[in-house]
């Protein structure tokens, strides 16, 4: 029953964006739109927003450029719709069991919400959120790339105990960098609720229901204090909310999300900019400054679209048998190999 309830809750979460797409309002020209104001006179960023998209942080090998034509974007959307329809077809009850040791599969498209099309940013269909990379990839230094590869291999192959597994598997934060910063779209649960006061701005992340509290006009915590989503302080630059985050938790230095994984060192700093550019759109920009890992500061931008409805509970632990199953499989493998 616990597993069923978990899936029922996930269904509510992922069905919302499908109905929301038609609710997105047209965005006014940037620089001409006058945003609504909070009681203190600052732009009102409050509401539920989503960055769901087929556009990703790192450019997929299927694309040869960071921008594609409208025709190519439409063709990709049709292909995605057809693939989704195929995956939603009923499973053949007479199909044999998969071969021993083969992947038995996981969520189908019913449980996922990775977007239906590439996102248009400033009039262009983007294949990557990066704005200063011709290759659509991150500018790792030689040492940074070596650190990333080593940490990724270690994390994916370390089964010593639950603490060795990524924090997303342990239901502490969402996988990838959905909680951020920077806040990156993933396979599902790409919604954020912003609540603001003159003293704080809070961003509630749909996965794993984490709340990042941004202290306005504050000072950073001592470097030995490292919250899961870092230490965020903010200020207003005209009508733009600027947020600087440091002091990242060691468990969040490696952001694991399939081929979209990336790394931030202990000294990394992320600067975000939130500008409301239309009645239903926030332009979200960020810069990552991490000289221990990258050869230069890298920047990206994405729109966050207004979404109707509420954010519902993401019940990660209820019925979650994956983590004990992973560890039990590792213990079995050790026994069969004589403990080697």
* Cα within 13 Å of Cα(316), Cβ side: 17
pLDDT in tens, 259-303: 999 999 999 999 999 999 999 999 999 999 999 999 999 999 999
pLDDT over 70 (residue 8):
no
Q: Which of 118-127, 199-208, 278-287, 331-340 has the lowest mean pLDDT?
A: 331-340
Q: In what order do the strands lie in the sheet with 124-126?
A: 67-68, 124-126, 120-121
pLDDT in tens, 166-201: 988 888 999 999 999 999 999 999 999 999 999 999
List the chain domain ranges.
Answer: 2-84+113-317
Mean pLDDT over residues 29-55, rounded?
91
What percent of the chain lies above the pLDDT cut of 70? 90
pLDDT for 18 equals 29
pLDDT for 339 equals 63
pLDDT for 37 equals 98
pLDDT for 31 equals 55
pLDDT over 70 (residue 6):
no
Compute the Cα dihedral for 197, 201, 202, 205 and give only its sign: positive
What percent of the chain lies above the pLDDT cut of 90? 73
pLDDT for 320 equals 74
Higher pLDDT pick, 102 / 247: 247
User: What phi-psi label fits residue 309: left (phi over 0), alpha (psi between -120 and 50 degrees) or beta?
Assistant: left
Q: Evaluate whether 41 touches 238 at the Cβ level (below 8 Å).
A: no
Q: How far apart are CA 288 and CA 295, in angstroms?
A: 11
pLDDT for 244 equals 98
Q: How far apart are CA 120 and CA 122, in angstroms?
A: 7
pLDDT over 80 (residue 3):
no
- Tell me how crowded residue 149 is: count the other CB atoms within 10 A of its CB: 12
Q: Please give the mean pLDDT across all residues of the chain.
A: 88
pLDDT in tens, 144-170: 999 999 999 999 999 999 999 998 888
Mean pLDDT over residues 117-128, rounded?
97
**Strand 231-237 and strand 210-216: pairing?**
parallel
pLDDT over 50 (residue 94):
yes
Would you place residue 48 in the very low, low, confident or very high pLDDT band (cuts 50, 70, 90)? very high
pLDDT over 50 (residue 9):
no
Find where tokens 């900019």 sit: 273
pLDDT in tens, 213-270: 999 999 999 999 999 999 999 999 999 999 999 999 999 999 999 999 999 999 999 9
pLDDT for 331 equals 95
**pTM listed for this prediction:** 0.88
Q: Evaluate whether 252 touches 229 at the Cβ level (below 8 Å).
A: yes
Mean pLDDT over residues 328-333, rounded?
94
DSSP string, 12-23: HHHHHHHHHGGG
pLDDT for 140 equals 98
């Amino acid at each position: 029953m616990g597993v069923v309830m978990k899936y029922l809750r996930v269904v509510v979460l992922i069905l919302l964006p499908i109905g929301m797409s038609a609710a997105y309002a047209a965005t006014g020209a940037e620089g001409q739109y006058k945003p609504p104001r909070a009681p203190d006179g600052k732009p009102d960023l409050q509401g539920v927003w989503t960055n769901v998209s087929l556009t990703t942080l790192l450019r997929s090998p299927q694309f040869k450029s960071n921008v594609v034509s409208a025709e190519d974007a439409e063709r990709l959307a049709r292909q995605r719709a057809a693939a989704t329809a195929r995956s939603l077809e009923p499973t053949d009850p007479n199909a044999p069991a998969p071969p021993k040791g083969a992947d038995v599969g996981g969520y189908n498209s019913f449980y996922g919400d990775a977007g239906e099309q590439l996102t248009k940013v400033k009039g262009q269909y983007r294949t990557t959120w990066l704005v200063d990379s011709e290759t659509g990839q991150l500018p790792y230094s030689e040492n940074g790339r070596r650190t990333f590869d080593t940490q990724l291999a270690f994390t994916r192959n370390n089964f010593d105990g639950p603490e060795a597994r990524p924090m997303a598997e342990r239901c502490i934060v969402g996988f990838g960098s959905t909680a951020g910063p920077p806040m990156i779209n993933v396979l599902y649960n790409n919604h954020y609720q912003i609540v603001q006061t003159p003293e704080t701005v809070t961003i509630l992340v749909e996965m794993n229901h984490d709340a990042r509290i941004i202290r306005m006009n504050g000072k950073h915590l001592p470097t030995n204090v490292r919250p899961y989503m870092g230490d965020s302080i903010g200020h207003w630059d005209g009508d733009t909310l600027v947020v600087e985050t440091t002091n990242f938790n060691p468990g969040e230095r490696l952001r694991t999300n399939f081929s979209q994984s990336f790394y931030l060192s202990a000294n990394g700093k992320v600067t975000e900019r939130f500008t409301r550019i239309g009645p239903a759109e926030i332009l979200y920009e960020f810069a990552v400054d991490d000289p221990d890992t990258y050869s230069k500061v890298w920047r990206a931008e994405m729109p966050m679209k207004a979404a109707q409805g509420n954010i519902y509970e993401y019940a990660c632990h209820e019925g979650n048998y994956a983590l004990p199953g992973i560890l039990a499989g590792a213990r079995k493998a050790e026994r069969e190999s004589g403990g080697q």
